Structure 1
Amino acid sequence: MIPLSLKKIANITNGKLYGKSLIIHNVIIDSKKITPGSLFIALQGKKFDAHNFIEEVLHKGCSAIITQKKIAFKTNYIIVENTTIALGKIANWLRKKINPQILSITGSCGKTSVKEMTKSILKKYKNTISTFDNLNNHIGVPITLIRLEEKHKYGIIELGGSNPGEIHYTSNIAQPNIVLINNIYYSHLEGFKSLLGVSKAKSEILSGLQSQGTVIINLDSHHISQWKKKIKNKKVVYFSIEKKKKVISFLKILKYIRIKHVSPCTHLLEK
């Protein structure tokens, strides 16, 4: 993370600052991982409330807190309406400030494997950041982007979801230059209800794609006809096992994120 003052963070999150405007170098959401001088964001969910750990993190040397409630202890803190949304706002601000080339990946399966393979290629050329393991939700994506520093030129961001609207939210935080929809298959039907529901949810990744962005789509996916309006006027690259079209190398895909002299390692299909 690049250093930010509490005053700047309050502006980014539309929050109100109490106390001093210290310089923050690290943002933490896990009370067990607090380090001296860090900013703790007290997230609140259906089954947990990190506000219960405020006294603990202060004893551990936390310098400031983002909270939804007033704090009785003497400390520096920012009050916001929703700490989870505040986390996303900080992440999005940093993404735009540092402006790396972002590739966001979604799909019913194989997202993490594709992310790891892509990261292993890109990191040989430029400093690259990526989501940890499969931490691809409304918390994991912002936490990944908050780690961005000036040195990072590429970001590989996996986006997952089990209910409609989740990928829309994380895609608009990441604002990718390139999106990849790996596949559409039966998954998370409790939230998506049907294969068509899965297809619509995964296509939410397109909502955050930058205006001159590129879309990479598995041509064998179900219900891709539903995406026609969303991919209109975009650069679209297809890949397929079942359908026969003009074969291009993975080199052409990486070209979109300004990588040169990479040996082809797979084959894809272009519209």
Structure 2
Amino acid sequence: MWKWETEGQAKAVVIIIHSAFEHHRWYAWLIEKLRGEGIHVVMGDLPGHGEESKYLRLHNESIIDYLAFIKLLLQNAFHYGLPVFIIGHGFGATLAIEYLRKNKTDCAGLILSAPWLSLRKTTKLIPNALTGIGALAPNKKISLAFEKKLLTRNMEGYAEIIDDIPYHSNVTGGWYKDIQQLMKNITTEQESKLSLPVLSLMAQQDKITDPFVVKKWLYTQNSVELQYKEWPYSYHNLFHDNEREEVFLYTRDFINNVMRSLGYIVK
């Protein structure tokens, strides 16, 4: 886990939760943009990701371990005594939703970037085979078709996700089944709805997750402040794609508006 502190007086803290198969270095641009707005950033690599992934052939981490890591991130963020926001991308956004559904926190707001609530076709296996594979062969290897070219069409953003840590989307059948069940629980359960302010950022050209399912879920929540925005040409990784400056402005303005509603003076 790492902390990047802004220069001078900070107004808020953001924790960033990256998506599956990524790691924290991918978010250097976003971290610096937040620091430039007077915001501390707390971030780390999810279990089994980052340097750990160099030695793993398959992802088989548990949801419990992922959520425990988010708890640790929040504990460090709350230590500053400032309003705390969560930015979750992809699978990280899904984990953020699950954590906030199951745990009471004083989190000021949630920013969701292309959350996984319904995955598009990601493997050559037929859907029926995937449904039962976790129960029949939980250790069986599944190679999800998550290639970097599906994440961004921006050459600068693409260069930011090329590094010495191997990128692979190989998972076990058990991992895949758990993720599918998690998404189903979030989208179908009527209780444990979110009440904090939520901003959902989506890409219409997303090849990984379905924006329609996210939009439908969002407007069933109990929050008095919900924002939903789609970019018509963007790919899945909004903070790496061509429109990322505009995406960041939406993020910044959401944070500032929530802080104003909490009684803070924001310049």
TM-score interval (norm. to shorter): 0.3 to 0.5
TM-score by length of structure 1 reads: 0.40
Q: Report the structure, 1 or 2, having the larger strand content.
A: 1
Does 1 or 2 have the higher relative contact order (CA < 8 Å, sep 6+)?
2
Q: Report the structure, 1 or 2, having the larger helix content.
A: 2
